[in-house]
Amino acid sequence: MKAAKGSIGRSVDQPNPSIRFYLFHGTDESQSSALGERLVVALKASKQAIAPASLRSDPALLTDEAGAIDMFGGSKVIWLQPAGEESLAAVEALLNAPALESPVVAIAGRLTKTSGLLKLADSHPRALSHVSYELDARDAERLVTELGRTEGLRMQPIIAARIAEGCSNDRRMIAQELAKLALYLDASPNAPKELESEALDAVGAAIGGDFLDIADLALSGDVRSLGETLADMDEGGRDAIPVIRSLQRRLLMLAPIRARVDAGESVAAVMTSMGKALFWKDKPLVERMLGMWDSSGLARVAERAGDLERRLMRGDAPSPAEALGEELVAIARQARRR
């Protein structure tokens, strides 16, 4: 069944035991993933990922895994991402099974009205579907305020707008920035603090910094140009965090596109569907990077970038400039090998 926009929060925070399949789909994959993560937290469960492509040749695998008792006796959620039509037969079997131990969460990109997976999830009483649309500026500001409240942060609308704009209205990045700001201010829901421009300048100074050119050099494997650019940067590493966040923004843009390609869509079709969301001059570069990186590779780069950012903010890296340079060159070399 299809979840209404106003009820989806309650559906994942207070899950109905009769629902065994959750389909979160749409253009805002970060929101879909966040909803799935909220469900995992609500169930106090662990995630067990299954590659959707494996279900094409073995549709029974999904029901077998969802029906198996966790070896450590805890709760688990079966996680499919990126999900597509290759999962249809497996999901049908899952919904028709007599009993299961664990629910299944499927994260999909944009699905058409003719999608068999979407039709099944919309109509079956044991399934729940929700479509995630990209945020506009007003919704993004509202989200910043709401998420900030859960971190113990109070803020004026102008601060919320600055964070939303700097994070390109991306939910995942907004949540990451607010968590860092709350840590800096020692804020919590039980001890809320006012988030003002001074704290944002101190911790979030990199928000909105535009170093996409450097990120693109690394992700496209241009080692020579990357080395020349790094040599011209501030030796003190002042720009390290802005560069990392620009890299994260590019990864957040590439990941859902790559997921759609992995699900069977052609690169050309996906690029065309993005329309003005992708600047026309960037399209050849983005297409080249999609040919160099698969979803697992992009996920590993994102994880390493996050780890590096946390190390730099703690100050235990030998040198921000050196640590950043080593990581970007490693990314570029990996891209060249693909």
- Residue 276: predicted pLDDT: 61
- CA–CA gap between residue 231 and residue 234 (Å, rounded): 8
Q: What is the pTM of this model?
A: 0.57
- Residue 308: predicted pLDDT: 85
- Residue 204: predicted pLDDT: 56
Mean pLDDT per 10-residue run, the chain (338 residues)? 80 94 88 89 92 90 91 84 91 93 92 92 95 81 90 92 78 82 91 89 57 89 90 74 84 84 81 69 86 88 84 68 89 86
- Residue 205: predicted pLDDT: 47
- Residue 79: predicted pLDDT: 94
- Residue 120: predicted pLDDT: 96
